[in-house]
């Protein structure tokens, strides 16, 4: 039942691709939030998206949306290389920002974004939705409680096969395309969230003809643990995350980064844990962000600035090892 005393958060969306459509679908299932505006430089796309997702307004420029006093929060789902530019634009207009992962192209950009958010006292959060999903929160709680002893190994992969197309955002190096920033961030996040920052990193990659990485294999070394991670656009993989503890093996089943099930294997017994998801999964981060706004918070404790910095710094380190550079 809707509580009329709870502040309704009014959302805008910039970048109207597939992820934005999924986000808008889940946003509609939340109480005390509403989609008031969407923006695209393609007028037809803006109008079509607005009609499909019941947005009150469709703008043909991002500036128009950001000048709308009825917009409280903006979800940014543009290509990676535009995240900093569009986030800074929102923050300059005092709009709270939920920006898709990766927060930016490198740590230097992320630091600039955080600095402006703090300067303007405006909420900024990276939209790494996995961090808010109940099954992943369950895994993190197992690690912290040491219910099954110490965590010794993390094995996580994310891979699918797509025919190379240099005009597709996924492959376009100038937009941050390639496996690492697009999907490799998820295995990397799984390791960082459970084992922390590694002492050393080994990494190797393969590349498309345009210089974007087609696959990346990583090993994170810790004092008493190891993470073996992989991202690839060259083959279908199980896309699982396996956590090996002293006394049990816990696996997030296929598509570990999105709503999934967990298998706990202990003493030759297996237990399947079903989290009974009813949505695509974007509602969890959207509700968390909306509540932060209601409480006048400017930073999330779950996806904190420090956490986003550690993620991008780790990705920067991997890129340095494999010799992957964006831009000039």
Per the annotation, the verdict on 173 as an active-site residue is no
174 phi, psi to nearest 5 deg? -60, -25
Compute the distance between CA of residue 49 and CA of residue 16 in angstroms, rounded to an integer. 7
Query: CB of 308 within 8 A of CB of 110?
Result: yes
Q: How far is CA 186 from CA 135, 229, 296, in A?
A: 14, 9, 29
How far, rounded to the nearest angstrom, does the alpha carbon of residue 277 sit from its chain's CA centroid?
Answer: 18
Best CA proximity match to 18, nearest among 44, 43, 52: 52
CA 15, 191, 96, 112 dihedral sign is negative
Q: For residue 70, give every residue at least 6 positions away whose Cβ sits within 8 Å of its Cβ, in sequence order, or none.
A: 10, 36, 37
Neighbour tally for 49: CB within 10 Å: 22
The catalytic residue among 2, 29, 57, 101 is 101
Full DSSP string of 140-173: HHHHHHTTTS-EEEEEEEEE-B----TTSTTT-G
Full DSSP string of 214-282: EEEEEEEE-SS-EEEEEEESBS-----EEEEESS-EEEE-SSTTSS--EEEEETTEEEEE-----S-ST
Report, as residue numbers or ranges, the catalytic residues: 101
């Amino acid at each position: 039942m809707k509580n009329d005393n709870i502040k309704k958060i009014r959302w805008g969306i910039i970048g109207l691709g597939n992820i934005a459509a999924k986000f808008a679908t889940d946003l509609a299932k939340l109480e005390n939030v509403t989609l008031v505006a969407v923006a695209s430089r393609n007028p037809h796309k803006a109008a079509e998206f607005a009609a499909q997702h019941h947005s009150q307004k469709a703008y043909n420029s991002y500036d128009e949306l950001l000048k709308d006093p009825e917009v409280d929060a903006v979800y940014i789902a543009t290509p990676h290389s535009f995240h900093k530019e569009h986030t800074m634009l929102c923050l300059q207009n005092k709009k709270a920002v939920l920006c898709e992962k990766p927060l930016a192209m490198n740590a230097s950009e992320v630091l600039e974004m955080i600095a402006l958010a703090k300067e303007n006292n405006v909420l900024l959060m990276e939209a790494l939705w996995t961090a808010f999903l109940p099954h992943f929160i369950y895994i993190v709680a197992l690690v912290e409680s040491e219910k099954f002893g110490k965590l010794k190994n993390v094995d996580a992969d994310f891979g699918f096969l797509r025919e190379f197309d240099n005009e597709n955002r996924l492959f376009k190096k100038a937009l941050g395309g390639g496996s690492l920033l697009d999907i490799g961030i998820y295995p990397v996040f799984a390791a960082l969230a459970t084992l922390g920052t590694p002492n050393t990193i080994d990494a190797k990659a393969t590349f498309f003809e345009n210089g974007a990485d087609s696959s990346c294999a990583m090993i994170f070394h810790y004092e008493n643990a190891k993470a073996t991670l992989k991202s690839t656009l060259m083959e279908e993989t199980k896309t699982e995350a396996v956590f090996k503890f002293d006394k049990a093996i816990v696996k997030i089943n296929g598509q570990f980064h999105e709503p999934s099930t967990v298998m706990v294997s202990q003493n030759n017994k297996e237990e399947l844990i079903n989290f009974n998801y009813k949505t695509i999964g974007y509602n969890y981060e959207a509700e968390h962000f909306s509540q932060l706004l209601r409480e006048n918070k400017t930073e999330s404790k779950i996806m904190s600035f420090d956490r986003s910095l550690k993620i991008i710094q780790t990705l920067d380190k991997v890129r340095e090892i494999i010799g992957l550079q964006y831009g000039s």
